[in-house]
Amino acid sequence: MRKVIVMTAILALTACGQESNDKIQRAKAASDTSTVQAPVARWAVEVKLGETQALSDLTARLLEHGYSSYISEIDGVQRVLLGPFTSRDEAQAMLTRLITQLDNLQARILELPVDKPAH
């Protein structure tokens, strides 16, 4: 994205007859400083009901109570997750709310791998 902005600025300056290296360098510097890093979602809440519970039954129960979940394969195992969250505190708040609202539920905070997308 940054290269597109720089190239657009260079082409615009060249088209206007202002090929000054100084202006091109300022356009590059402006595009470098405008880059914003989005927060990385690294936390999720893993939910289980029991070893024999079907994933579809668990996700349906969560949805009935207003929780939107997704299934992700981590370390070769399919897991039902809520989130992702950008901080452990957000995940902890969800875990606390979930445990107080639903019975017979096992849940834990899970740190997601950085190199893999959350979904």
Domain match, 66 and 101 both? yes
Does 101 lie in the same domain as 53? yes
Same domain, 18 and 53: no
**Assigned domain for 77 exists:** yes
Which domain range does residue 20 map to? 2-33
- In DSSP terms, 85 is beta-bridged to 43
DSSP 41: -
Is residue 89 scored above 60 in pLDDT?
yes
Higher per-residue confidence, 109 vs 8: 109
The alpha-helical segments, DSSP class H, found in 16-68 are 21-33, 55-64
Q: How many domains does the chain have?
A: 2
| Domain presence at residue 38 | no
Sorting pLDDT into bands at 50, 70 and 90, what band is 3? low
The tokens for 71 are: 């299934």
pLDDT tens per residue across span 94-114 = 999 999 998 888 999 999 877
- In a domain, residue 117? The reply is no
Q: Is the pLDDT of residue 84 over 90?
A: yes
The reply to whether 29 and 66 lie within a common domain is: no
Please give the pLDDT value at position 11.
Answer: 54
Is 70 exceeded by the pLDDT of residue 30?
no
Indicate whether 79 and 26 sit together in one domain: no
Decide if 116 is inside a domain.
no
User: In angstroms, rounded to a whole number, what is the distance separating the alpha carbons of residues 82 and 71?
Assistant: 9
- Report the C-alpha dihedral over residues 96, 98, 102, 103, rounded to 10 degrees: -50
Q: Are residues 52 and 107 part of one domain? A: yes
